[in-house]
C-alpha cells in the first residue's frame, strides 16, 4: 500500500518563519491545477500499488475551492486504485474555514483536517504574520467537530521568542479542552531566506533559546501523555487510533508519489523531487520537459535514512527489519555502536525494538548521526 502527496503551492501571505514552497500570487491557480492534473496522468505508473492515503499539503490547500479539490480527488479515483477506507487529509488554515466551507468539507471524501493554529495568543499570530485570528481558529475547530469531522489534527509551534512557559502550558491546555484527536507540535527553526532569518541576522529578534525549547518540549510530552495522547513521533501526538496514516507511512519506509511543484516521490530505489517554481513547473509539464531531479538510493543511504526516521518514532529501530533489509556489515556496525551506548539513559531496548525515551526524542537527530555509516 502506498500514499499520494499533492502540493498546493499558494499562500495568502508569507509567515515570518516559513521556507516551504509557495507563491503569494494566485493569478496562475487555474493553470497550476490544469498542470497538476496533467502530471497525475503523466506519472500514473510511478506506483503500482493500491493507495491508502492522500494528503493535500502546502502551501495552503484550503485556498482551493471545494470544486477544485473534488475534481482532483475524482481524477485520482479514476487513475489509481484507492482502498475503501482511504485517509484523505487536507491541510487547512483557519481563515479559510468559514461555516460554508466546513459544511461542504464534512460532506466530501476528505476525512481528516490538519488545521494550522500555531498559537492561541493573538500576539504570537501577529509576530508570525499569520493570516488568521485566534477566534477563527477556535471557530474552525468547534464547527468542524459539530459537523461530524472527527479526525482533526492541530499544528502548534513552540520555541517562539515571545512564548512564555505559562503561555505554552495554556496552548497545550486549549488542545486538551477542545478534545482534539491529533496534535503536531513543531519546534521553531530559523530557515534561510525567511523574514525571521533576516531579523535574527540583524539582531532585531533573538534566535530560539535551546533551553527554553527543550523545557517546552518536556512540558508538552508530560502534559499530553497525562491526557491520553501517545507520543508516536518526535513532533506528533495522537489519541488512540488517530495516528496520521499518511505521515506514518513515510516513517515506515512505504512508497509514495508526490504531485505538484516541490513534491517528493520515493519508491525504495530512488527519490525524486519536482522543481520548486510554479511557473517553471507549469511550463515544463505542458511542454513535456523534465521537471524533477532524481537520486538513486544505495543501501548505505537507505540504512542511514532508516536510522534517522526510526529514532524519531515510538517504533524505533527494529532488529528484524535491520536483519532483513541490510547487509551483515551494516547490521554489525549498528550493534557495535549500540554496545557503546548500552548504559545510556536515552535508549531503551524492548524485545525487537531499540527506541529513544520520550525526552531523548528531541536529540533524535544527534543520536541517530552516531549510528550513521559513512
Q: Is 18 in the site for ligand SF4 (CB under 6 A)?
A: yes
Q: Is 22 in the site for ligand SF4 (CB under 6 A)?
A: yes
Which grid coordinates belong to 287?
A: 511542454
Q: Which does 14 bind (CB under 5 to 8 A by kind): ligand SAM, ligand SF4, none?
A: ligand SF4
Q: Is 318 in the site for ligand SF4 (CB under 6 A)?
A: no
Q: Which does 208 bind (CB under 5 to 8 A by kind): ligand SF4, ligand SAM, none?
A: none
Which residue shows C-alpha cell 490547500? 61
Read off φ and ψ for residue 255, nearest 5 degrees. Answer: -75, 150
Q: Which stretch binds ligand SAM (CB under 6 A): 143-151, 183-191, 271-279, 324-332?
A: 183-191
What is d(CA 19, CA 184) in angstroms, rounded to the nearest whole number? 18
**Could you tell me the smallest distance in angstroms from the CB atom of residue 116 to ligand SF4?**
6
Name the residue among 27, 108, 35, 26 with its Cα closest to residue 282. Answer: 35
What is d(CA 21, CA 279) in angstroms, rounded to the nearest whole number? 12
Measured from the CB atom, is 17 or 217 closer to ligand SAM? 17
The only residue of 155, 230, 305, 352 in contact with ligand SAM, by rule CB under 6 A? 155
Burial (Cβ within 10 Å: 0-12, 13-18, ≥19) of residue 228: exposed
Measured from the CB atom, is 116 or 316 closer to ligand SF4? 116
- Positive or negative, the CA dihedral 34, 35, 40, 41 is positive
**Could you tell me the smallest distance in angstroms from the CB atom of residue 14 to ligand SF4?**
5
SS3 of residue 15 by DSSP: coil
SS3 of residue 8 by DSSP: strand
Which grid coordinates belong to 356?
A: 529513544
Q: Is 75 in the site for ligand SF4 (CB under 6 A)?
A: no
Where are the strands (E) in 279-371, listed by range? 292-296, 317-318, 347-350, 353-356
Which residue shows C-alpha cell 530557515? 191
Q: Which does 236 bind (CB under 5 to 8 A by kind): ligand SAM, ligand SF4, none?
A: none
What is d(CA 157, CA 116) in angstroms, rounded to the nearest whole number? 10
Q: Is 110 in the site for ligand SAM (CB under 6 A)?
A: no
What is d(CA 14, CA 6) in angstroms, rounded to the nearest whole number? 20
**Could you tell me the smallest distance in angstroms from the CB atom of residue 163 to ligand SAM?**
12
Q: Is 58 in the site for ligand SF4 (CB under 6 A)?
A: yes
SS3 of residue 131 by DSSP: coil
The only residue of 5, 10, 17, 120 in contact with ligand SAM, by rule CB under 6 A? 17
What is d(CA 105, CA 70) in angstroms, rounded to the nearest whole number? 10
The DSSP bridge pattern shows strands 353-356 and 347-350 to be antiparallel
Measured from the CB atom, is 262 or 284 closer to ligand SAM? 262
Measured from the CB atom, is 21 or 254 closer to ligand SAM? 21
Q: Which stretch binds ligand SF4 (CB under 6 A): 7-15, 25-33, 71-79, 249-257?
A: 7-15
Site string for ligand SAM, 31-70 (x = CB under 6 A): ---------------------------x-x----------
The only residue of 11, 115, 180, 354 in contact with ligand SF4, by rule CB under 6 A? 11
**Could you tell me the smallest distance in angstroms from the CB atom of residue 120 to ligand SF4?**
17
Contacts 24+ apart (CB under 8 A), 192-195: 192/19, 193/19, 194/14, 194/16, 194/17, 194/18, 194/19, 195/14, 195/16, 195/17, 195/129
Q: Is 186 in the site for ligand SAM (CB under 6 A)?
A: yes
Q: Which does 233 bind (CB under 5 to 8 A by kind): ligand SAM, ligand SF4, none?
A: none
The only residue of 3, 9, 116, 258 in contact with ligand SF4, by rule CB under 6 A? 116
**Could you tell me the smallest distance in angstroms from the CB atom of residue 20 to ligand SAM?**
4
Binding site for ligand SAM (CB under 6 A): 17-18, 20, 58, 60, 91, 93, 116, 118, 155, 157, 186, 188-189, 191
Binding site for ligand SF4 (CB under 6 A): 11, 14-15, 18, 20, 22, 58-60, 93, 116
Amino acid at each position: 500500500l502506498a500514499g499520494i502527496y499533492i502540493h498546493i503551492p499558494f499562500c495568502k501571505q508569507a509567515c515570518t518563519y516559513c521556507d516551504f514552497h509557495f507563491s503569494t500570487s494566485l493569478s496562475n491557480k487555474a493553470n497550476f491545477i490544469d498542470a497538476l492534473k496533467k502530471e497525475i496522468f503523466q506519472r500514473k505508473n510511478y506506483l503500482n500499488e493500491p493507495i491508502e492515503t492522500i494528503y493535500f499539503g502546502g502551501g495552503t490547500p484550503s485556498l482551493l475551492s471545494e470544486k477544485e479539490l473534488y475534481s482532483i480527488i475524482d481524477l485520482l479515483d479514476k487513475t489509481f486504485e484507492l482502498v475503501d477506507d482511504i485517509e484523505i487529509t487536507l491541510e487547512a488554515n483557519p481563515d479559510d474555514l468559514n461555516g460554508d466551507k466546513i459544511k461542504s468539507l464534512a460532506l466530501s471524501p476528505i476525512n481528516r483536517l490538519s488545521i494550522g493554529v500555531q498559537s492561541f495568543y493573538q500576539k504570537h499570530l501577529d509576530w508570525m504574520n499569520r493570516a488568521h485570528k485566534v477566534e477563527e481558529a477556535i471557530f474552525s475547530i468547534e464547527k468542524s467537530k459539530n459537523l461530524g469531522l472527527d479526525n482533526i489534527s492541530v499544528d502548534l509551534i513552540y520555541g517562539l521568542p515571545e512564548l512564555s512557559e505559562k503561555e505554552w502550558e495554556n496552548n497545550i491546555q486549549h488542545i486538551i479542552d477542545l478534545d482534539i484527536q491529533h496534535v503536531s507540535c513543531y519546534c521553531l527553526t530559523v530557515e534561510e531566506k525567511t523574514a525571521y532569518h533576516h531579523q535574527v541576522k540583524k539582531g532585531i529578534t533573538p534566535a530560539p533559546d535551546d533551553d527554553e525549547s527543550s523545557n517546552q518540549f518536556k512540558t508538552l510530552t508530560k502534559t499530553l501523555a497525562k491526557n491520553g495522547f501517545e507520543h508516536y513521533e518526535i513532533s506528533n501526538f495522537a489519541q488512540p487510533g488517530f495516528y496520521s496514516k499518511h505521515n506514518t507511512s513515510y516513517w515506515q519506509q512505504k512508497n509514495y508519489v508526490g504531485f505538484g511543484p516541490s513534491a517528493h516521490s520515493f519508491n525504495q530505489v530512488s527519490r525524486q523531487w519536482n522543481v520548486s517554481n510554479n511557473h517553471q513547473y507549469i511550463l515544463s509539464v505542458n511542454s513535456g520537459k523534465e521537471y524533477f531531479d532524481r537520486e538513486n538510493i544505495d543501501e548505505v543511504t537507505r540504512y542511514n535514512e532508516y536510522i534517522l526516521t526510526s529514532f524519531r518514532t515510538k517504533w524505533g529501530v527494529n532488529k528484524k527489519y535491520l536483519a532483513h533489509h541490510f547487509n551483515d556489515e551494516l547490521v554489525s556496525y549498528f550493534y557495535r555502536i549500540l554496545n557503546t551506548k548500552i548504559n545510556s539513559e536515552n535508549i531503551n531496548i524492548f524485545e525487537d525494538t531499540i527506541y529513544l525515551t520520550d525526552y531523548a526524542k528531541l536529540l533524535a537527530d544527534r543520536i541517530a548521526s552516531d549510528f550513521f555509516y559513512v
